[in-house]
A = this chain, B = another copy of it.
Amino acid sequence: MKKSVFYHAGCPVCVSAEHDIISLIGLDNVEIVHLGDNKERIAEAEKAGIQSVPALVTPTGNVLHINFGASMEEVKG
């Protein structure tokens, strides 16, 4: 199965959600991307439809915005 991708930016809300997502769907099924450390992937995240982090892109391409940690504008800043 194609992996989900979890985008975050290291904020407390992000870290908490990351633990929950890994616990729910398993570390093997999700790629974790820290956009603060990987700014070159911000464009890819925006193209996927991500407006805030943390967010999960499912294998089918749907975006699940989970709680609210930071806007993409804040991540770019």
Cβ-neighbour of A58 out of B4, B20, B60, B64 (below 8 A)? B20
Are A65 and B66 interface neighbours, CB within 8 A?
Answer: yes
Copies of this chain per assembly: 2
Contact residues of A between 44 and 70, Cβ < 8 Å to B: 58-60, 62-68
Give the distance to chain B from A11, nearest Cβ to Cβ, in Å.
Answer: 15
- B16 & A62 in contact (Cβ 8 Å cutoff): yes
CA distance A17 to B64 in the complex (A): 7
Q: Which of B17, B58, B65, B68 contacts A23 (CB 8 A)?
A: B58
Min Cβ gap A1→B in Å is: 10
Q: Identify the 3 closest CB pairs spanning chains A and B, nearest first.
A: A24-B25, A20-B58, A64-B66
